[in-house]
Amino acid sequence: MKRTVPVIIASAVGFVLVIAFFIPRTQAWGETAVLWFNILAAVAFVLGAGNLIKVQLESISARRPGWGFALVTLVAFFTMFIAGMLKIGVFPAGQYPEHAWSGKFDSAGAPFGWMYNYIFSPITATMFASLAFYVASAAFRAFRAKNVEAILLLGTAFVVLIGNTAMARLTDPLPEYLAFLRLDVLVANLMSYVATGVTRAITIGVAVGVAATSLRILLGIDRPYLGRL
């Protein structure tokens, strides 16, 4: 029973979603199934938040190495949570000026919006910006001309790296019969034909793989949600 019921639920809902795409009368059932998932995910968020608080509190109480980070995590979590949930400092919406909570929680000027714009956004942008350093480090370490394929890769990398900068104009003076060697033309051709072709091939393989994996789950051959091998 413990193993059969989840498999039946997963299979039934999965097949309903597939059928709903083709049979109009069942479309509403598919939309309902998606709504159920959204509700479950929202409820599970409470579980996740509870787990986060529990783990960080344990880290603080046991004074494990790095417990200060756990304290920072909890302070940040509760500050944003309370500021957003209670809509502290939010201006009422124009239509309902007498209701203090009628405005949006992330409206400009409110503490939540301020923290989002001046703390969270710059931190996120900084993390993303650190990619530039990691790319350089990866390029220095990993790009070696060990074999023919690697040499082709390196050649392409040089063309694309230089072709995507102002230095691409250095090849503009090439005569018309050698126009295909201009860097901007080379980059466009590489992206439009070579890269696109490869991407399409991988995408087709992935699509077939997704279909096979989904079918295995619908038929109960794979049961990752059940935790039994």
C-alpha to C-alpha distance for 87 and 109, rounded to whole angstroms? 12
Window contacting other proteins (CB under 8 A); options: 81-89, 141-149, 173-181: 141-149
Window contacting other proteins (CB under 8 A); options: 83-91, 142-150, 173-181: 142-150
Smallest distance, Å, CB 143 to other proteins?
Answer: 5
Q: Is 170 in the site for other proteins (CB under 8 A)?
A: no
Binding other proteins (rule: CB under 8 A), the pick from 12, 152, 181, 222 is: 222
Do the Cβ atoms of 141 and 135 come closer than 8 Å? no
Smallest distance, Å, CB 36 to other proteins?
Answer: 11
Q: Is 205 in the site for other proteins (CB under 8 A)?
A: yes
According to CB under 8 A, which residues from 41 to 100 bind other proteins?
Answer: 41, 44-49, 51-52, 55, 58, 65-66, 69, 93-96
According to CB under 8 A, which residues from 100 to 129 bind other proteins?
Answer: 102, 104, 106, 108, 113, 116-117, 121-125, 127-129
* Residue (177 or 221) nearer to other proteins, CB: 221
Q: Is 143 in the site for other proteins (CB under 8 A)?
A: yes
* Residue (71 or 191) nearer to other proteins, CB: 191
Q: Which residue is it, tokens 């935790």?
A: 227
Window contacting other proteins (CB under 8 A); options: 83-91, 173-181, 205-213: 205-213
